[in-house]
Amino acid sequence: MPTSGDLSRLAQEAKFVFKGTVQKLKSATMSDIRADERTVVVTVDEVVRAPAAFAKYAGKDITVYVGGRKKVAPGEQAVFYANGWRFGDGLAVKSIDHVPVAEAGSIMHAIAATGLGPASVVVGAHPTERLENAELQQHVESSDVIVTGRVINVRLAPETEASAPPLMAVRGLVGTAVGTRPQGQRISEHDPLWHEAVVEVVDVEKGSRSTKRIVVRFPSSNDVRWYKAPKFKPGQEGVFMLRKVESARPSAVAGVAIRAPAKAERTEVYSATNAMDFRPLDQIETIRTLIKATATPRVTQGQAVMAATGGRERTAARARK
């Protein structure tokens, strides 16, 4: 029987969760995979949560590399917690763990009812929506502040300005497209080219209610390391889900003193480096629902597991005494 700790770990690690029936042992559906005692062919009976590329495999046979010490048998039906392994003329995944359907089903539904765990607030949704909502919920929980607002200004971050050629430093952003590198500037391949967006707050969903304006540091570089990060421009409106910057003015340029911000600029400074840090306004109701779910006292995962199993764990503990 999986514990609440097991479920929490699997929810974090597994991107592809599905109910499946084992068809063949020591076999594979892809020609470039050498079958051994850990590779089995499994029919995907139902997709619970999945990346978009995996959702289409419902009803099809895939190769599963069975991890851990557990074994499977032909005809066995289980819920597999897996991640991608091989792509080509089929799909192969590596299973972190698998749980008999009779055990997994009741526990997953109990946890979903409490708003916790891998199926949180998405029971009945399309598999890709389930994954997106689970990731969104985790982002809501980890954010220091969540606000709706409007970008009123975009400027060079102090360390970027200090390392730029004199002409660019004078111009600020004028004539310089966000995401481009100043001509002649010596800069490393993965340098983020930090910029700052000044955001006028409309509503505070999470954080201090007195917040009226925030500064959001974001990488303007389109390098592979930063291209998914939001790129802000004046007039942009949406939902900002951010984490506070420990050092609001880091000295990123060796030997260059970063100017202290003027008194009027001393607002809270946050960072936006993840695609989920900025969401369109039409997602605000979903985000509000997730905020309420994390703020309202709920049944714990352990209690949910206990309820789902009819108190068997408690009964077994008493018996051992």
- Please give the pLDDT value at position 63: 97
Q: Which pLDDT score is estimated for 254? A: 33
- Domain residue spans in the chain? 4-127, 143-294
Shortest CA distance to 214 belongs to which of 251, 242, 250, 179?
A: 242
Q: What element of type H or E holds 114?
A: helix 101-114
| Per-run averaged pLDDT (10 residues), the chain, 321 residues | 62 84 95 93 90 84 91 93 87 92 60 40 47 76 93 91 57 42 52 93 92 94 89 95 71 38 63 93 85 62 46 49 53
Let me know: does 51 contact 40? Beta carbons within 8 Å.
no
Distance CA(240)–CA(213), nearest Å, equals: 12
Residues 241, 223, 228, CA angle at the centre, nearest 5°?
30
Same fold yes or no, 4-127 and 143-294: yes
Helix (H) or strand (E) holding 204: strand 194-206
Are 143 and 241 a contacting pair, CB within 8 Å?
yes
CATH number for the domain whose boundaries are 143-294: 2.40.50.120
Structure tokens at 264: 């009027």
This prediction's pTM:
0.49
pLDDT computed for residue 105 by the predictor: 56
Return the bridge partners of 15, or none.
none
Rounded alpha-carbon distances, angstroms, from residue 268 to 144, 199, 229, 246, 287: 11, 10, 20, 10, 22
Domain 4-127 has CATH 2.40.50.320: yes
At residue 229, the pLDDT reads 93
DSSP secondary structure letters along 208-256 = -TT--EEEEEEE---STTTTTS----TT-EEEEEEEE-SSSS---STT-
Report pLDDT for 177. Answer: 42
